[in-house]
Every structure is written in structure tokens, then in C-alpha cells.
Amino acid sequence: MDEQISRRNFLRGVGATALVSALAKATAVAQSAEALDDQKPVGPGPAKLVLQVNGHRQELAVEPRETLLDVLRNRLQLTGAKEVCDRATCGGCTVLVNGQPIYACMKLAIEMGGQDILTVEGLGNQKSLNAVQQAFIECDALMCGYCTPGFVMSLTALFNEKKNPTLAEIKKACSGNLCRCGTYPQIFKAAQKVAESS
């Protein structure tokens, strides 16, 4: 056994680390409990909420059980994100939160205050489309169009991270999105077109 790291010393070290981290956790829990004491609990009725959506500040009163998707679609009339499964299995409601693609059906709206939310409507209008949207049109990467905003958002997030992804990376970026019309081959083609042109 290495003299420098004997089993005993190693375990002692771990113990000390664990102790410190447990103390830190306990302190944090106590602090957040104090913070909660200062706050009135929200719900079950509507609570005030400020959302930042597509660069606009939105003041709302929502029930704690309302999802981000419910609020975007039914209160803000941002119907580009679709409710297809409402259970995080299809990607039809994909939006970007601080640049990361998420399922809007899996977030409660009241958790989303102060975050930067981007929906498909925030990418531009029909006259000023981003590269992914433009490639979708050119490669016929849409049919009924119901899943399209979700795929566009997932791929937009990919290209924000990486200019020139591989086909495998493109497929992985779409792996959380379902299309029933079967447009996948053209979606891959569109994404590859964006990758090649960058």
C-alpha cells in the first residue's frame, strides 16, 4: 500500500469531509427554513409571478399547480409550444430556459421566476427565421407541423452550443422529440445543412 495514502488516513479524510459537508447542509436547511418563516406559503390559490418570456416581462397570478406550458399557452397565448403528452415524453413543448432546452410541461410556472425563457415565437417571425427554421423549410423537415416548434427549439439549442455538430450529435439532440408523420430523415438533413453552412 502506498505510504502516502494509507487506508486509515484516507478514511479519516473522508470522515472529516463528510462531517464538514453535513454541517454545511444543516446550516443551509436552517437558513432556508428561516427564510420560509418570513415568507407566506403560496397556494393553493393564485400567486403572483413575474416571468421573463422572449425578452418581455410578464406579470401573472398563477396557481402553484399550473405548469409553465399551461401558462405559456393558455395565459400568454404563446401556442407555439404544444401540449402533446403533458408527461415529458414527446418534446412538443420544448422551450429554452437560460439557453437549455427543457420540457415546459415538466416545470411548474412558479419555479420559473427570474429565468430567461425563450419560446419558438421568440426566435423571430415568419419573415425573419433563424438558420434552423430556414433549413426546415428548404429540406421539407415538417409535415403536419405539430412537433415542428419542439424540434426547432431542440436544434436551435444544439447550434447555440456547437456550430458544427456531427449527425450523431444531431440525432442525440432530437432524441427527446417525437414526430408521428415521420419527418426524421428530413430533419436530420436540415440540421446537417445548418452544420455545413456554418
Binding of another protein by 94 (CB under 8 A)? no
Residue 171 buriedness (CB in 10 A; 0-12 / 13-18 / 19+): middle
The 10 Å CB-count burial string (b at 16+, else e) for 71-94 is bbbeebebebbbbbebeeebbbbb
> Could you tell me the CA-to-CA distances from 124 to 19, 128, 133 in Å, in that order?
52, 5, 10
Binding of another protein by 188 (CB under 8 A)? yes
Q: Segment near another protein (CB under 8 A), from 4-12, 19-27, 106-114, 183-191? A: 183-191
As given in the structure block, the three cell numbers for residue 159 are 447550434
* Residue where the block lists cell 452550443: 161
Binding of another protein by 162 (CB under 8 A)? no
Binding of another protein by 81 (CB under 8 A)? yes
Binding of another protein by 178 (CB under 8 A)? yes
**Which residue of 25, 185, 197, 198 would you call a contact of another protein, by CB under 8 A?**
185
* Minimum CB distance to another protein, residue 161 (Å): 17
Q: Are strands 56-62 and 94-97 parallel, antiparallel or unpaired?
A: unpaired
Q: Enumerate binding residues for another protein (CB under 8 A).
A: 63, 65-66, 70, 73-74, 77-87, 89-90, 92, 119-121, 123-127, 129, 133, 136-138, 140, 142-149, 152, 171-172, 174-175, 177-188
